[in-house]
Amino acid sequence: MSHLPWRAAMEQALYGPQGFFVREDSGPAAHFRTSVHASPLFAQAVLRLTRWVDEALDRPEQLTVCDVGAGRGELLLALGAQARAADPGLADRLRLVAVERAARPRGLPAWITWTDRIEPVPAGLLFANEWLDNVPCEVAETDDDGVLRYVLVDPATGAERPGGPLDAADAAWLRDWFPGGTAGGTRGTPVERAELGRWRDEAWTEAVGAVGRGLAVAVDYAHTRADRPPFGTLTGYRDGRQVDPVPDGSCDLTAHVALDACLDAAARANPRVTHSLWTTQRDALRALGVSGARPPLALASSDPAAYVRALASAGEAAELTAAAGLGSFLWGVQAVDMRDLPSLGGWQTLVS
């Protein structure tokens, strides 16, 4: 096959007829470990956030939790089970909706709604963990004459070659979000290579637009103006290992998200957005009660089984909040038609 622009190649490789994410055999969990797979503590934290939204909205008759890019429904399964155990009153009012391009997994309980389109969330929480990094995007590189061009890729081998110059919309996006425009990156270095975020901006804008009242939260590998990567981040994952990004359907293809651009686009498009902020997963999860502190040693002699459980839980919390790992993910949070914000610590405000 001849070379394709990266966006078309990603679309085909991830979501085409035998695409990596939609084939029945390969759920995301088989190839990489997200926070959802790492520990039920993640769902517990999302449940805490759900309860905060519930209170802030004065306990609506129905509260929707919509998980966009839901994988095989793991987050909603855990959240629903935990809600039933901890707060049956809330569980009865919860509507759990998984939005996913893959088919509904066999055996998923009926209390989880499965759809391939984002539906209205009249009151509640829209949550997207590691969704936007899988929204296909173009890649641009500066050629020897300083001209920014699309990068084309051979789907069979991953070999790249330069394509045409960027169109006006992509050039504008890059100028807006990589300071210095076409000739300068964040630290005054040239933008040698960059992933163009327009399609992530559009995807996120649509998601936030679905929320009537409540929070929209995107959690991802991400960067903001302060730390743009000058050489791009596109990579592949297969069987738990990072691999070269070959768009042949054999691996996940992911590129970090310009999260501030997504939040900005959604806020500009939607006057009902009242707050736009981001923080690290480390701060967000700590504020939501996920602690990596070791249990007191005295517990080991008074209740050895409880000690072992607490130790395992502390290990999982440490993985979720590790500064060099999942803890460095960014949580982008937008409140729609809400007065207050949850206290998730370390907030950075969107400056556009």
Ligand X SMILES: C[S@@+](CC[C@H](N)C(=O)[O-])C[C@H]1O[C@@H](n2cnc3c(N)ncnc32)[C@H](O)[C@@H]1O
Q: Which of 6, 21, 178, 199 binds ligand X (CB under 6 A)?
A: 21
Contact 221, 329 (CB under 8 A): yes
Q: Max alpha carbon distance in the chain (Å)? A: 71
What DSSP string runs through 95-117? EEEEE-SSPPPTT--TTEEEESS
* Helix, strand, coil in percent for the chain, rounding step 5: 35, 25, 40
Q: Which of 36, 83, 91, 258 binds ligand X (CB under 6 A)?
A: 36
Q: Which two tokens stand for residue 193?
A: 């290579």
Q: Which of 3, 23, 84, 101 binds ligand X (CB under 6 A)?
A: 101
Q: Work out how close the CB of 257 gets to ligand X at its nearest, in angstroms, rounded to a whole number.
A: 12
Q: Work out how close the CB of 190 gets to ligand X at its nearest, in angstroms, rounded to a whole number.
A: 31
Nearest one of 18, 166, 8 to 102, comparing CA atoms: 18
Q: Work out how close the CB of 49 gets to ligand X at its nearest, in angstroms, rounded to a whole number.
A: 15
Nearer to ligand X by C-beta: 57 or 77? 77
Nearer to ligand X by C-beta: 50 or 141? 50
Beta strands in the chain (DSSP E): 4-5, 63-68, 94-99, 112-115, 121-129, 139-142, 148-153, 160-165, 193-195, 211-220, 222-223, 235-238, 241-243, 252-254, 257-258, 273-280, 330-336, 348-349
Instruction: For the segment 104-143, give every residue that binds ligand X (CB under 6 A).
Output: 129-131, 134-135
Residues 6+ apart with CB under 8 A from 152: 3, 4, 5, 6, 160, 161, 162, 163
Nearer to ligand X by C-beta: 93 or 101? 101
Residues 6+ apart with CB under 8 A from 301: none
- Identify the three-state secondary structure at position 251: coil
**What is the spatial distance between Cα 14 and Cα 20, in angstroms, rounded to a whole number?**
5
Q: Which amino acid is at 77?
A: L
- Identify the three-state secondary structure at position 145: coil
Nearer to ligand X by C-beta: 126 or 338? 126
Instruction: For the segment 191-250, give every residue that binds ligand X (CB under 6 A).
Output: none
Q: Work out how close the CB of 233 gets to ligand X at its nearest, in angstroms, rounded to a whole number.
A: 15
34 part of the interface to ligand X, by CB under 6 A: yes
Nearer to ligand X by C-beta: 28 or 124? 28
> Which single residue brings its beta carbon nearest to ligand X?
69
Instruction: For the segment 50-89, give every residue that binds ligand X (CB under 6 A).
Output: 69-71, 74
- The footprint of ligand X on this chain (CB under 6 A) covers a number of residues equal to 18
Candidates 96-104, 137-145, 183-191, 261-269: pick the segment binding ligand X (CB under 6 A).
96-104
Q: Work out how close the CB of 88 gets to ligand X at its nearest, in angstroms, rounded to a whole number.
A: 26
Nearer to ligand X by C-beta: 83 or 99? 99
Q: Which of 26, 46, 96, 100 binds ligand X (CB under 6 A)?
A: 100
Residues contributing to the site for ligand X (CB under 6 A)? 21, 28, 34, 36-37, 69-71, 74, 99-102, 129-131, 134-135
